[in-house]
């Protein structure tokens, strides 16, 4: 797994997730149809700027009681926290809820957001649920399937393996970009290409938006704008 400079990661937080997805279509056209969440998400803090970090993957369960002892569950939870704290940082926890009706109980809440933030995590993405909306760690972003009041039998099942969360397949160490729109995996080879791709996309779209925002728009003006936009490179 390659890591990127703090400056590179900071640049990525300047763009929302739709912009990143559009730029990825330019530099890696084969990525157009996958690599991002495709289900509705509930966002903990829609006003928070995008977060970027290396994936720490895990699976959790909440609905049914565990068959393992409290000692085994505690040891696994602590081992998971060690995993979250490992470099490189910052990290984003990507947690698949494996219950058949995922999101019945919440993994995420006041305690988990504060622990994860303290271990270098900047956010979480889950196919499960969250709670404690007013008490979660500040400046920590969460994307979840739903909000519920109880954690029921919440526990970590395993960690460090491939997961699928809200239609997005994630492996340990993948670079994740997330905001109120959803999340996307940024391939290592694309990181250095994205700034130029975003710049090109913005310049192309600016021509179309300038025409569209005029007091009146006719088809001839729109045709001209599309022609001008297509010539920008």
pLDDT number for residue 224: 93
pLDDT number for residue 217: 85
pLDDT number for residue 101: 83
163 and 59 in contact (C-beta within 8 Å)?
yes
pLDDT number for residue 216: 85
Q: What is the pLDDT along the chain (233 residues), one digit of tens a residue?
A: 678 899 999 999 999 999 999 999 999 999 889 999 999 999 999 999 999 999 999 999 999 899 999 999 999 999 999 999 999 999 999 999 999 888 899 999 999 999 999 999 999 999 999 999 999 999 999 999 999 999 999 999 999 999 999 999 999 999 999 999 999 999 999 999 999 999 999 999 999 999 999 888 889 999 999 999 999 98
pLDDT number for residue 2: 74
Do 172 and 211 have their domain in common? no
Do 199 and 222 have their domain in common? yes
Do 73 and 175 have their domain in common? yes
Do 161 and 202 have their domain in common? no
**Does 138 reside within a domain?**
yes
**Does 65 reside within a domain?**
yes
Containing domain of residue 129, as a range?
A: 34-186
Do 44 and 121 have their domain in common? yes
Whole-angstrom distance, CA of residue 168 vs CA of residue 97: 13
Do 150 and 112 have their domain in common? yes
Do 182 and 200 have their domain in common? no
Do 47 and 157 have their domain in common? yes
pLDDT number for residue 154: 93
The answer to pTM > 0.85 is: yes
pLDDT number for residue 21: 96
Do 126 and 219 have their domain in common? no
Total number of domains constituting the chain = 2
Overall residue count recorded for the chain in this entry: 233
**Does 207 reside within a domain?**
yes
184 and 177 in contact (C-beta within 8 Å)?
yes
What CATH number should be reported for the domain holding residue 98?
3.50.30.40
Helix axis angle, 17-27 relative to 194-212, nearest 10°? 110
Do 125 and 219 have their domain in common? no
Do 53 and 166 have their domain in common? yes
**Does 179 reside within a domain?**
yes
pLDDT number for residue 170: 98
């Amino acid at each position: 797994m390659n890591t990127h400079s703090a400056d590179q990661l900071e640049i990525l937080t300047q763009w929302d997730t739709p912009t990143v997805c559009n730029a990825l279509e330019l530099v890696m056209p084969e990525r157009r149809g996958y690599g991002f969440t495709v289900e509705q998400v509930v966002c903990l803090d829609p006003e928070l700027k995008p977060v970027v970090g290396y994936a720490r993957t895990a699976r959790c369960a909440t609905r049914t009681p565990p068959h393992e002892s409290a000692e085994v569950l505690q040891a696994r939870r602590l081992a998971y926290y060690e995993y979250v704290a490992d470099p490189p940082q910052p990290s984003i926890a990507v947690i698949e809820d494996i219950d058949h009706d995922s999101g019945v109980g919440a993994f995420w809440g006041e305690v988990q957001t504060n622990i994860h933030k303290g271990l270098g995590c900047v956010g979480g993405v889950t196919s499960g649920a969250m709670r404690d909306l007013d008490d979660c760690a500040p400046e920590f972003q969460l994307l979840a399937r739903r909000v519920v009041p109880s954690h029921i039998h919440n526990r970590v099942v395993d960690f460090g393996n491939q997961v699928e969360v809200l239609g997005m397949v994630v492996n340990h160490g993948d670079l994740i970009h997330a905001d109120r729109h959803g999340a996307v995996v940024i391939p290592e080879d694309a990181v250095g290409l994205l700034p130029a791709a975003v710049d090109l996309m913005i310049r192309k779209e600016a021509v179309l938006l300038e025409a569209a925002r005029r007091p009146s728009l006719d088809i001839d003006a729109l045709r001209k704008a599309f022609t001008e936009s297509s010539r920008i490179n």
